[in-house]
Amino acid sequence: MKIAVVYWSGTGNTKAMAESMLDGAKAAGAETDLYSVDQFSADQMAGYDGFLFGCSAMGCEVLEEAEFEPFFQEA
């Protein structure tokens, strides 16, 4: 099982959660990669079996709009 953890983080909280999720998936035997959303695009998804997406709430309970939201729509 190959898993990609893809996140957006402004002040590091979601990044810390993404790293913990990565450790958990690794401990469960998965092959894992960690990406901040600017390093990953939807056309890379074919190389993975599963995904963990993380983004902090920004604006008014919405996804970060410049990078994560467009990626998530495409994904």
Ligand X SMILES: Cc1cc2nc3c(=O)[nH]c(=O)nc-3n(C[C@H](O)[C@H](O)[C@H](O)COP(=O)(O)O)c2cc1C
Q: How far is the CB of 49 from ligand X (least distance, A)?
A: 26
Binding segment (CB under 6 A) for ligand X, from list 3-11, 30-38, 42-50, 66-74: 3-11
Question: 3 and 50 in contact (C-beta within 8 Å)?
Answer: yes
Interface characters, 41-70, with ligand X (x: CB under 6 A)? ---------------xxxxxx---------
Which residues, 15 to 34, sit near ligand X by CB under 6 A? Answer: 15
Bridge partners of 4, per DSSP, are 33, 51
Residues within the interface to ligand X (CB under 6 A):
9-15, 56-61
